[in-house]
Amino acid sequence: MDVTVPEIPPEYDEYRARLRAFIAKHRPALEWKQRAGMRCPDEATEVEKLREWTRALYDAGYVLDRFTMEPGDPYEQRILLEELSETEIPYVLGNPLVAGALQLFGTPEQQEQYLPPMARGDHIWTQLFSEPNAGSDLASLSTRARLEGDEFVVDGQKVWSTWAQFADYGYLLARTEDVPGSKGISAFILDMHSPGIEVRPLREMTGTADFNEVFLDGVRVPAANLIGARGEGWRVANASLAAERGGVASSAPGDPVQALVRLARAHGRAGRAAIDDAAVRQEIARFAARHRVVRYLGYVVATRAARGETTMADAPMTKIWFSELNLEMAQYGLELMGAQADLVEGEPGAYEDGRWQDLFLYARALTIAGGSNEILRNLIAERELGLPREPRG
């Protein structure tokens, strides 16, 4: 198919210049270091700085389409994403997966109440999908919500919830119907300050606590907080997950290929810079070619979406390509560093303060986020290609 990626007209140069000037004036001074992936600050003071930054953007009119019911100028949206990504500072706080659910399934009241504060950073959201025994196989979740009057009472446990320790609201999936599988699941808006909620941050091998486990004990949720109809949660969640899988590729700040080139220039091999080795240059060239495939695959998916022709394979394919390439590039970066790869963040002599070590340790998580790549391959095979279902145990 033809891929539509029109050049941004010159008349938008003024918009870009204004945005750059605004960013230079308002970018926050953070002690927390932004890293690749879906990361979260350790300190509440740093979160508040990020809230102020996001509020300033919103109040100046720099709002992403994902938080509005009326799309903005497509060229301005592209420029906004490009320039904000260059800052390597979070400009969307928490996990905004619920935004797509509210746009597609939310009531007008829900859209008005929750989308603007999410865009402005007033509300930080977390995703409450995965459980200890229900990750990529989400249809087997066991968290339950029983109706009592005009409220649901929720009991269960969630895990791998990013930003939950700072979240104001949660996007919750719970079983409301006494039927097995996906048909018994409903989607909710959960006030994270409700009685009965306990959040425990999980310290990972990266040294950071980006994920949490969340315990729900008799938590009361108004029935008005249902997203979509009762028992429709699986449909709501799948619409949201398509957006998450397509967005995983935006998790790595900067140009990873150029970062590899800088790394190869800074490290030696056989008495000379690694970049002077033809084998190294060929390997980086292979990464560059695959990185371009990811970019153009994104263009294809965006073009299909604009035409209303999205397929079941689009978002999973993009996510698989990016996450596996990201992992391989991180591993190759450590190989180029040789013995220096043992030096991590905070240690004297650590290259770029351990950026590559952290990238490598986190990269595996991106092959799991939004559904493991193994599950996504099954999804492509079964739902897009029509192949026989894999035997279930």
Catalytic residue positions, numbered: 244
How many C-beta neighbours within 10 Å does residue 80 have?
Answer: 21
Does an H or E element contain 82, and which?
A: helix 74-87
- CB-CB contact of 326 with 252 (8 Å): yes
3-class DSSP assignment, residue 268: strand
Radius of gyration of the CA atoms of the chain, in A: 22
Phi, psi (deg, nearest 5) at residue 350: -70, 125
Side chain identity, residue 163: W
**Which amino acid makes up residue 319?**
K
The three-state secondary structure class of 278 is helix
Q: What residues contact residue 6 under an 8 Å CB cut-off, 6+ apart?
A: none
DSSP state of 128: E
**Taking Cα atoms as reference points, which of 187, 193, 191, 157 lies closest to residue 175?**
187
3-state helix, strand, coil in the chain (%, to 5): 50, 15, 35
Cα four-point dihedral sign 177, 180, 185, 190: positive
